[in-house]
Amino acid sequence: MSSYFTDLAQQYIDGEWRPGTGSWDIIDFNPYDDEKLASITIATVDEVDEAYQAAARAQKKWAETNPYARRVVFERALRLIEEREGEIAEAIIAELGGTRLKAGFELHLAKEFLREAINLSLRPEGRIIPSPVDGKENRVYRVPVGVVGVISPFNFPFLLSIKSVAPALALGNAVVLKPHQNTPIVGGSLVAKIFEDAGLPAGLLNVVITDIAEIGDAFLEHPIPKVISFTGSDKVGRHVATVCAQHFKRSVLELGGNSALVVLDDADLDYAVDAAVFSRYVHQGQVCMAANRVLVDRSVAEEFTEKFVAKVRTLKAGDPRDPETVIGPVINSSQADAISGAVEQALADGATALVRGTRTDNLVEPSVLTDLPANSPLLKQELFGPVALLVTFDGEEEAVRLVNDTPYGLSGAVHTANIERGVAFAKQIDTGMFHVNDGTVHDEPIVPFGGEKQSGIGRLNGDTMLDSFTTTKWISVQHGRSGFPF
């Protein structure tokens, strides 16, 4: 594992591993013990240009490659991940403070998405559409967009890089990937290494490790990429969308959330507690689909709260290398500061702490807050940390209103003994995804993934990848002679 942080601490451009030419380094730290993992000289605007130019040169031949031949690369990549699973898991634990449970979860999904990419290579289909003109044949081809820019986040960097990179490549595009500065190896150069070893031709996948302090909007504004796939906060996503629109680029935005898990009066409370605790505290709550809010019908609130608090108290916080650890560190000190500050503000505004976790460096223990005032800003924002907000409601109508009272609309869940009641409830929620009698954190390779409102634009997974990473082209053929009015 340690060799990843020495051998891969470079830029990957046009099939070559090389240092950046910037004047400063990104330092990659282990968020749990602050160990220095790597020092990477950043890429400049010139290297971003070189990466996009290399991608453009390589893409046309790749698009013309038989899709049956293209998919062999993804089959090899899948085998390599399976062979190196232990090493990759150790890298995930070290670089982003993921627990062993989380590393296994991320690797499982990464492999599932690669399996889908293998199939996606063969998915594009053309159409013949009738014409009102005699003798005319309308052919609609589905073709690659060309070059895709991918910006991946720090929370599931290996999975979420592969989730855009693999389908974009499978559909005949080339890619330039910019991983998050806190996860440059797992989210960037490690992905490149796997595809390089799998036989992907040089230039088709490039990785630039850099910072907007160095390159500004050059990654977005460059004239070569036709699509930017961004996963991250809604604040940055708004900027990405604005820049893309100004330059007539398509943006696919997977942004933040403020999901709610709702417990109706007929729910299985023990099961609902298990679902809610997982949905809030998986990967320290650093998940866009995490259940920020747990809404409970007043008639069962006392019993649910007692069981929920008891289970939260059992969650072990500490060294993510320990298999017993459930709560590892958050990604950096600024995140830890934000979480602690949000809890302090909520308590100052009148909330009650049923569980008050302490903070040691980047390790933030779980907290459970209740009695938040209805106008608390915490109820409407994304809280990227291990803090659960318990809210009671009276009846379904109020529950629907509370769930929708947020600028986000990504995921959510409802628990009830009556499945159709749950489905009827789900239909009233303004989200891209909603789950009946389950948790809020789900992602499957062939089901459309994405949000409404400030949670994003567009969808990923399955056939929606065709909408994201290909475009249509109409070619008409006139059989015989066409008539013209002059």
Which residues are annotated as catalytic? 254
> What letter does residue 482 receive in the DSSP assignment?
P
Q: How far is CA 114 from CA 165, 170, 195, 355, 462, in A?
A: 10, 10, 11, 40, 11
> What letter does residue 86 receive in the DSSP assignment?
H
**75-91 b/e with 16+ CB inside 10 Å = b?**
ebbbebbeebbeebbbb
Whether 401 and 379 have beta carbons less than 8 Å apart is answered as no
Distance in angstroms (rounded) separating the CA atoms of residues 118 and 143: 17
Q: Cβ contacts of residue 78 below 8 Å, gap of 6+?
A: 111, 114, 115, 118
Distance in angstroms (rounded) separating the CA atoms of residues 172 and 322: 42
CA angle 25, 239, 450 (to 5 degrees): 105
Give the other-Cβ count within 10 Å of 420's Cβ. 9
Give the other-Cβ count within 10 Å of 372's Cβ. 20
Give the other-Cβ count within 10 Å of 367's Cβ. 24
Which residues on adjacent β-strands are paired with residue 260? 293, 412
Distance in angstroms (rounded) separating the CA atoms of residues 172 and 122: 10
Distance in angstroms (rounded) separating the CA atoms of residues 117 and 67: 11
The dihedral through the CA atoms of 381, 385, 391, 396 has a sign that is positive
Q: Map tokens 């709702």 to a residue.
A: 262
Q: Cβ contacts of residue 320 below 8 Å, gap of 6+?
A: 32, 93, 97, 98, 99, 100, 102, 328, 329
| DSSP one-letter string for 214-265 | HHTTHHHH-SS-SEEEEES-HHHHHHHHHHHHHTT-EEEEE----EEEEE-T
Q: Which two tokens stand for residue 130?
A: 């009738």
